[in-house]
Structure 1
Amino acid sequence: MIVALIAACEIGFWVLLAAGLACRYLLRMPRTGLALLLCEPLLEVVLLVATALDLRNGAEPNWAHGLAALYIGYTVGHGHRTVKWLDGHAAHRLGGAPRPPGPPRHGMPRARHETKVWLGTLIGAAVATALLQLAVWYVDDPSRTTSLEDWRLTAWRAAGLHGLVTLTYWIWPKKAPAGGSPAEPDPGKERVGR
């Protein structure tokens, strides 16, 4: 049940996002579009409540509960950046706004950008860890919560790996091509994941 709900929340995220952006820019209903975009966090609240109810009703804590915590953590850490990025591109393509600037491509500006993205991963790992710890306390049976504790390690391994990749931008900054500015952004080429 939890896995299906995670999939439904992910699909719901993109449906609400598309509907919100369509209302804002195609239908020229900015308030309705904003209201739809602000409903996005409700999906995570639904997932959190459903996971808690599932555990309260005696479900065996397993990988699906851990995945739900990681999903919510990722959304908290990266959801706003994703929505902002897509809103900027929708405003450009559908609303006539100027093209949003992309991230810096070279040097220290790129390293700072990658660090900001990594901070989102750290926030996601912290949120997931807090939710998993609350679930461990909620279940209150160490023999049943081993899998939840393993997911905390997974969250921090992902954050650590992302941190190592980010560190490479500081140690070996990419040099600008001859004649180019090291801080020159590449319009529209920001990588965004959900």
Structure 2
Amino acid sequence: MIVVIVACEIAFWVFVVLGLLARYPLRRPRLGLVLLALTPVADVVLLVAAALDLRRGATAELGHGLAAVYLGISIAYGRRMVRWADERFAHRFAGGPAPVRLDGLAYAAHCWGDVARTLLAAGIAAGVVWLLTVVADDPARTAALAPARSLLLIVLAIDVVYAVSYTIWPRRPRARSGDAVRERVDSHR
């Protein structure tokens, strides 16, 4: 099962990279859009593979739980990951604007958005675990899926602590290189 998860993760990023290469350096935006639209196929393949494996009588293992976690994260964060990569490709290959680095309260709000996405990922993973348990139709064979939910709850707790810390102590704006030099010169006067 781990091999299928790794293959699906690789397929996700292959579709992203090929889509962005087609979109920007090759100047084929429609082909790029089609390739980017194929990224969810990796998620569907993973879900079907995990369900079929359990339906055939396999006992749930760590890999099945990781599949649920991967699906939750991929669905909750997938669009944002593609957008992140798209901004960088557009800047590098198409003269697009440089990616914006958030700071202050805008970054804190961004962190709270991550908390919401992680909560969504945990909910999706819990739903996938439930679905796999129903498909296997044998609670004894699916007991190993329970830690998957706990893993995402730990990640959610870390996300909350991270967001709270940046709400209390907002990220400072990064000084531009010329500003840093002027600050050092001014401080020595």
Q: State TM-score, norm by structure 1.
A: 0.84
Q: Unaligned stretches of 5+ in structure 2?
A: 176-189
- Deviation (angstroms), 1:176: 5.1
The Cα of 1:174 is off from its aligned counterpart by 3.8
Does the residue aligned with 1:143 lie in a helix, a strand or coil? Answer: helix
Q: Which moved more, 1:23-32 or 1:112-121?
A: 112-121
User: Relative to 1, partners in 2 of residues 1:170 and 1:33: Cα closer, same or farther, differing over 3 Å?
Assistant: same
Match of 1:128 among 118, 125, 128: 125
**Aligned equivalent of 2:106, options 105, 109, 113:** 109
SS in 1 for 2:49: helix
| Matching residue of 2:76 | 77
The 1-side partners of 2:52 and 2:138 are apart by 16
Name the structure 2 match of 1:192.
Answer: none
- Post-superposition Cα deviations, 1:16-63, rounded to whole Å, max 9, x if no partner, equal 111111100111100000000000001100110011100111111111
Q: Hey, what's the Cα distance between the residues in 1 that align with 2:138 and 2:16?
A: 39
Aligned residue in 2 for 1:15: 14
CA distance in 1, matches of 2:167, 2:125: 27
* Distance in 2, Cα, partners of 1:4 & 1:136: 21
- Which range moves more in the overlay, 61-70 or 133-142? 133-142
Change (3 A) 1:99 1:176: closer
- What does residue 181 of structure 2 align with? none
Q: 2:149 aligns with which of 148, 152, 171?
A: 152
- For residue 171 of structure 1, what is the aligned residue in structure 2? 168
Q: Which amino acid is the alignment partner of residue 55 of structure 2? A: R
Normalising by the residue count of structure 2, what TM-score does the alignment of the two structures yield?
Answer: 0.87
Moved over 6 A (4+): none
Determine which structure has the larger helix proportion and give its number.
2
The percent identity for this pair of structures is 41
Unaligned runs of 5+ in 1: 179-194
Paired positions, count: 175
3-state SS, counterpart of residue 130 of structure 2: helix
8 Å contact 1:129–1:155 — kept in the other structure?
no
Tell me which structure has the larger Cα radius of gyration: 2
Match of 2:33 in 1: 34
Corresponding position of 2:140: 143
